[in-house]
Structure 1
Amino acid sequence: MTVTYVIDGAEVTGLDAFWRVLGAAVNGPGGYFGTNLDAFADCLRGGYGTPDDGDFAFLWRDHRRSREALGHAATVHTLERRLARAHPTNRAALQARLADARAGRGPTDFDDLVAVFEREAPGALALA
């Protein structure tokens, strides 16, 4: 039987809030299910609260509010933080992506999260 975790998009006011809401959805209040894209991908692969058989789904309610909260302005903030600690070989790519985000172009934090869902748990995410 599929276990469905509900992400309340109205509570996603930024990326830090997303990690908190997601962790609580999967593992209860104060629960963990990643705090960056790499950790999130690891969690989706199993062993961090989802069923061992991989029979789980996510329903992201009110995702439009999350899409707005995790849009280009939030992405600029995320990329600035990443750039500050990036390896020198990654800086040029991050700077280019940051310039795009500042201009309102390119993928957003929301897009990045959806891409991780699609890559690591294909078909497991429903947007409502």
Structure 2
Amino acid sequence: MELSTSNKNNRKVTVINGGHFSNLEGFYDEVSSVLMKDTDWKAGTLDGFDDILYGGFGVFEDGEEIEMIWKESQKSKKDLGFGPTRDFYESRIRQGEPFNIKLIQQKLDELISGKGQTLFEILVEIIESHKNITLILD
């Protein structure tokens, strides 16, 4: 398994390997093992993933410069694309509470109409919203 954290030009380098997973749960397992190793906390939601990217309780400190390499990102783009995103939203709608069904239905409608984001695009956007993290899609 290729989990690495090294320093490059005073910037910590982390590697997420798309070959290690094929769905959102697998993504959470991968990023948890890479970013949260030696802790007993795991990402399990989009918000939880966003939280660990702030740093301070995993392999990097709050605000530390990070280079995140997403290997096999094209595989992940497909694995977390339209179909899996549609299934993700539909399962939340079926589950109901505590999810905001109206908002999720809106997001599903946007996805179907070609205006919404896939899970892959949402994850990339979450990573890129952290200015201390440089994402490299490999």
Q: Which residue of 1 aligns with 2:90?
A: 80
Give the match for residue 5 of structure 2: none
Amino acid in the other structure paired with 1:69: D
**Which one has a larger percent helix, Structure 1 or Structure 2?**
1
Taking CA–CA contacts closer than 8 Å with sequence separation of 6 or more, which of the two structures ends up with the larger relative contact order?
Answer: 1
Distance (whole Å) between structure 2 residues aligned to residue 109 and residue 31 of structure 1: 25
For normalisation by structure 1, the TM-score amounts to 0.82
TM-score normalised by the chain length of structure 2: 0.77
Identity %: 25
Structure 2: runs of 5+ lacking an equivalent = 1-9
Where does residue 101 of structure 1 map in the other structure?
111
Distance 2:88 2:18 in 1: 19
- Larger strand fraction of residues: 2
Displaced runs of 4+ in structure 1, greater than 4 A? Answer: 29-33, 102-105
One-letter amino acid of the structure 2 residue matched with residue 71 of structure 1: G
CA distance in 1, matches of 2:131, 2:85: 23
Pairing of 1:21-60 with structure 2 (within 5 A)? 21-28=30-37, 32-52=41-61, 54-60=64-70
Structure 1 unaligned spans of 5+: none
1:120 counterpart SS class: coil
Shift in Å, 1:100? 4.0
Aligned pair count reads 127
SS of aligned partner of 1:13? coil
